[in-house]
Amino acid sequence: MTGRVLVVGSLNADLVVRTARLPAAGETVTGTDLVTEAGGKSSNQAAAAALLGASVVLVGAVGSDAHGRFLLERTRWAGVATAVESLDGVATGVAVITVDRAGENTIVLSPGANAQLTPAHLPAVVFEGAAVLCLALEVPMETVLAAARRGHESGAAVVLNLSPYAAVPDELLRLTDVLLVNEHEAARFLGWGRVDGDWEAVRRSLSGRGIDRAVVTLGGDGAVVFDAGAVTTVPAVPVEVVDSTGCGDAFTGALAHRLAAGDRLVDAARFAALVGAIAATRAGAQASYPTAVEISEG
Ligand code: RIB
Ligand code: NA
């Protein structure tokens, strides 16, 4: 029996323009027509897990505007049950995104309603029976912490994605079962200039911060899994990158889905690497995520 995945966090309308190359400061470049896509790290994670067949609940906040209605519709279409508040007098979160020819992106966030998600918006009922709780950092830290406390109390495995990077309270780390970071977030978390491939040193340093289970994703180079002293490299799935927006969220959602189904962390990470790679081959965040059927046929 597969357990339920609970995701607490952000929803954003992604306003995307593609350009041949990203502009430098002060420079103007011309891009394609604007496309509005469903995004936001937590909404993306929830959609990724649901498309793969997980039973998923997303808790968050949007404004009572067209972007908010669009996001609710898209997220539900992906199969996510939503406990999302529509707040008056505030805009839905927006991400202004540019993507270049190589699939690299820049993102500027306007948090909007995400910044108004408070601990009071967390319905007690959603924590009951949640096997995995996914958290990222696009909503206020006090809300992330409150969710982690309640998830932990109700027996969910707390998966914390330190993205976008911010320093987090020690209590949140104590409540975290699996820390998920890319190599840049890992370096900042550890206070290093960069993570240079000495994974044994990373393991020791994480363990010194009380983290025994973690995944460091390396974009096109796969991932490294830390689990109770063991360090395992997960190879990349080689693909032609079209758009890497939201690939980390696809990875997180897929990992949560497999953890909720009872996989070991390293097996969940292998599957997640495949899902993240497929997401990179298509434009958009949620719009690029694979379904369970596509994966089984692939
Ligand atoms: O991780 C990708 C996401 O970051 C985008 O969907 C955008 O909304 C930003 O939150
Ligand atoms: Na994509």
Q: Which domains does the chain have, with CATH numbers?
A: 4-8+41-91+118-297 (3.40.1190.20)
Neighbouring residues of 22: CB distance < 8 A, sequence distance ≥ 6: 29, 98, 100, 104, 106
Decide whether any atom of ligand 1 lies within 6 Å of the 12 Cβ: yes
Q: Up-side HSE of residue 186: CA atoms within 13 Å toward CB?
A: 29
- In this predicted structure, the answer to whether residue 17 has a pLDDT above a threshold of 70 is yes
- In this predicted structure, the answer to whether residue 77 has a pLDDT above a threshold of 80 is yes
pLDDT in tens, 252-286: 999 999 999 999 999 999 999 999 999 999 999 99
CA 72 to ligand 2 center in whole angstroms: 20
By the 10 Å C-beta count (0-12 exposed, 13-18 middle, 19+ buried), 65 is classed as: middle
Q: Average per-residue pLDDT in the chain?
A: 96
Ramachandran region, residue 165 (left: φ > 0; alpha: ψ -120 to 50; beta: rest): beta
Percent residues over pLDDT 90 in the chain: 94
Other CB atoms within 10 Å distance of the CB of residue 291? 14
The atom of ligand 1 lying closest to the CA of 249 is 1
- In this predicted structure, the answer to whether residue 39 has a pLDDT above a threshold of 90 is yes
CA 285 to ligand 1 center in whole angstroms: 7
Q: Which ligand is nearest to the CA of 239?
A: 2
CA–CA gap between residue 185 and residue 166 (Å, rounded): 9
Residue by residue, DSSP assigns 58-69 as EEEEEESSHHHH
Q: What does the pLDDT read at residue 220?
A: 87
Measured at the CA of 60, the angle between CA 57 and CA 62, to 5 degrees, comes to 130
- 170 as an active site residue: the answer is no
CA 101 to ligand 1 center in whole angstroms: 19
Residue 1 — very low, low, confident or very high, per pLDDT cuts 50/70/90? low
Out of 198, 227, 249, 263, which one is annotated catalytic?
Answer: 249
Percent residues over pLDDT 70 in the chain: 100
The atom of ligand 1 lying closest to the CA of 13 is 8
- In this predicted structure, the answer to whether residue 103 has a pLDDT above a threshold of 90 is no
- In this predicted structure, the answer to whether residue 59 has a pLDDT above a threshold of 70 is yes
The β-bridge relationship of strands 130-135 and 4-8 is parallel
SS3 (DSSP) at 77: helix
Decide whether any atom of ligand 1 lies within 6 Å of the 107 Cβ: yes
- In this predicted structure, the answer to whether residue 298 has a pLDDT above a threshold of 80 is no
Other CB atoms within 10 Å distance of the CB of residue 188? 17
